[in-house]
């Protein structure tokens, strides 16, 4: 019993010692950092894309500073594989993580290959063959390229083909592009033109004119035809084309008739239709009746015209001045005049010159004029005009007849001539003339 007790006591002692040791060593301390002093280094090999803009680049990586590594790229999921593929040009960050969670980072750059077209100049040349007919599509372009190799060709942005020959082309503008094995491009422009169907074609238009039968009538016509080609259509004054070259219902005037053949080639000619002359064979005569002018009064000459031989109502013109309805022209001064008559068709005829003359002086005026010339003109003439009077001018005598009577007949305010009153017979001549009206014609 004593031995057994001793063993149990020893066991309790050992257990208590372990508890005391555990409490003093581990109960209040932080576990050690497994990454302390550990450096994870990431290295790799970059493979660039094989074409500009391609995405077949890759990065093969490895890591040191631990074991059991996994990797991610640009923050993606971690993977055990050490190669990242399908990469385009760009910057990439790879993180390696060991089994203890310790990490390392490295950045890699994937680059495009050098530009394969740098310094490459592709020149496209070609031989165009124009269509043989207007609107035809049998034109072609045979193109070739230089400056590189392995060319394919495209026309106007279409699909590329191995041949540089393009056929079945109509007139127009074309761009041919050549592309080499590296996708480098060169191009050239070509123009195909259709032949001019009117080159050397001269179309001549002739025609027969029928004038209207009446003034202002619309029964004129033109019958036109053309030579120099075939399949003609016709128009007049730019109107619609028609199969016939006959144009009816025309008035007097200028017309242009054009002919167009099947190829659109044109020719034209000018025609003039005229109204019939309404004055052909018409003779208009004008006779005048003239009334002479009375001197020393406002002009009072007059011409009365009478016309015959025309149609319709006459109008009249004096010396080419505006035509008027009246055939009477009054208040005319002495002189020659021509009267023209115009009928309803504008046919004209003129008179022989009609002369308006002055009426002769009357016998009473002649007697008074003789009295003054004998007794008064020595003091009243062109060079000496006593009292402002010149009795050598006939109309002065008429104008100042009252003054003549006052001085020579009535002696008011004094008698004239100064040598004494005229004899009564002379004075009576003056009185008789004034009593008769005192005019030049009295």
Shared domain check, 382 and 345: no
pLDDT at 292: 95
| pLDDT of the residue at 6 | 41
Residue 31 in any domain: the answer is no
Residues 409, 415: Cα–Cα separation, whole Å: 8
In a domain, 394, yes or no: yes
Residues 165 and 226 in one domain: no
In a domain, 100, yes or no: yes
Last residue of a domain, one of 166, 192, 218: 192
Domain assignment present for residue 66? The answer is yes
Specify whether 245 is located in the same domain as 292: no
Residue 234 lies in a domain: yes
Total number of domains constituting the chain: 5
* Domain interval for residue 337: 285-356
CATH no. for residue 171?
2.60.40
pLDDT at 13: 41
Question: Are 170 and 219 part of one and the same domain?
Answer: no
Residues 6+ apart with CB under 8 A from 66: 38, 40, 98, 99, 100, 102
- For 181, other C-beta atoms within 10 Å of its C-beta total 11
23 within a domain of the structure (yes/no): no
pLDDT tens track for 249-280: 999 999 999 999 999 999 999 999 999 998 98
What per-residue confidence (pLDDT) applies to 183?
Answer: 92
- Is the pLDDT reported for residue 410 higher than 70? yes
Q: pLDDT tier at 28 (50, 70, 90 boundaries)? A: low
Judgement on whether residues 373 and 350 belong to the same structural domain of the protein: no
Segment 196-234, tens digit of pLDDT: 989 999 999 999 999 999 989 999 999 999 999 999 999
Positive or negative, the CA dihedral 34, 38, 39, 42 is negative
């Amino acid at each position: 019993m004593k031995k057994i007790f001793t063993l149990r006591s020893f066991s309790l002692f050992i257990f208590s010692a372990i508890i005391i040791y555990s409490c003093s060593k581990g109960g209040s301390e932080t576990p050690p950092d497994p990454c302390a002093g550990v450096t994870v280094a990431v290295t790799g090999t970059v493979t660039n894309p094989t074409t500009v803009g391609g995405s077949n680049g890759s990065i093969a990586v490895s890591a040191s500073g631990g074991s059991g590594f996994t990797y991610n790229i640009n923050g993606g999921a971690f993977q055990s594989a050490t190669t990242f593929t399908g990469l385009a040009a760009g910057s990439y960050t790879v993180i390696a993580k060991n089994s203890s969670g310790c990490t390392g980072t490295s950045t890699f750059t994937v680059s495009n290959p050098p530009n394969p077209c740098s310094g490459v100049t592709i020149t496209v040349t070609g031989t165009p063959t124009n269509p043989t007919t207007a609107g035809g599509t049998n034109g072609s372009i045979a193109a070739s390229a230089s400056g590189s190799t392995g060319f394919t060709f495209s026309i106007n942005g279409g699909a590329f083909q191995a041949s540089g020959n393009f056929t079945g082309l109509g007139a127009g503008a074309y761009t041919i592009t050549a592309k080499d094995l590296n996708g480098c491009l060169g191009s050239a422009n070509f123009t195909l033109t259709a032949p001019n169907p009117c080159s050397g074609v001269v179309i001549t238009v002739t025609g027969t004119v029928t004038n209207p039968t009446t003034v202002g009538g619309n029964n004129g016509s033109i019958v036109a035809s053309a030579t120099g080609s075939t399949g003609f259509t016709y128009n007049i004054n730019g109107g619609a084309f028609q199969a016939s070259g006959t144009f009816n219902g025309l008035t007097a005037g200028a017309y242009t008739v054009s002919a167009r053949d099947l190829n659109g080639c044109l020719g034209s000619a000018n025609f003039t239709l005229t109204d019939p002359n309404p004055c052909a064979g018409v003779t208009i005569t004008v006779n005048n009746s003239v009334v002479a002018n009375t001197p020393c009064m406002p002009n009072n000459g007059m011409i009365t015209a009478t016309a015959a031989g025309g149609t319709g109502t006459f109008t009249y013109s004096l010396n080419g001045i505006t035509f008027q309805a009246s055939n009477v022209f009054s208040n005319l001064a002495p002189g020659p005049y021509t009267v023209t008559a115009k009928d309803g068709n504008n046919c004209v005829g003129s008179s022989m010159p009609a002369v308006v003359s002055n009426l002769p002086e009357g016998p009473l005026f002649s007697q008074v004029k003789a009295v003054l010339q004998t007794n008064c003109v020595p003091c009243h003439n062109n060079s000496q005009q006593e009292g402002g009077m010149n009795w050598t001018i006939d109309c002065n005598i008429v104008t100042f007849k009252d003054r003549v009577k006052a001085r020579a007949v009535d002696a008011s305010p004094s008698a004239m001539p100064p040598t004494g009153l005229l004899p009564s017979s002379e004075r009576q001549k003056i009185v008789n003339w004034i009593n008769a009206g005192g005019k030049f014609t009295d």
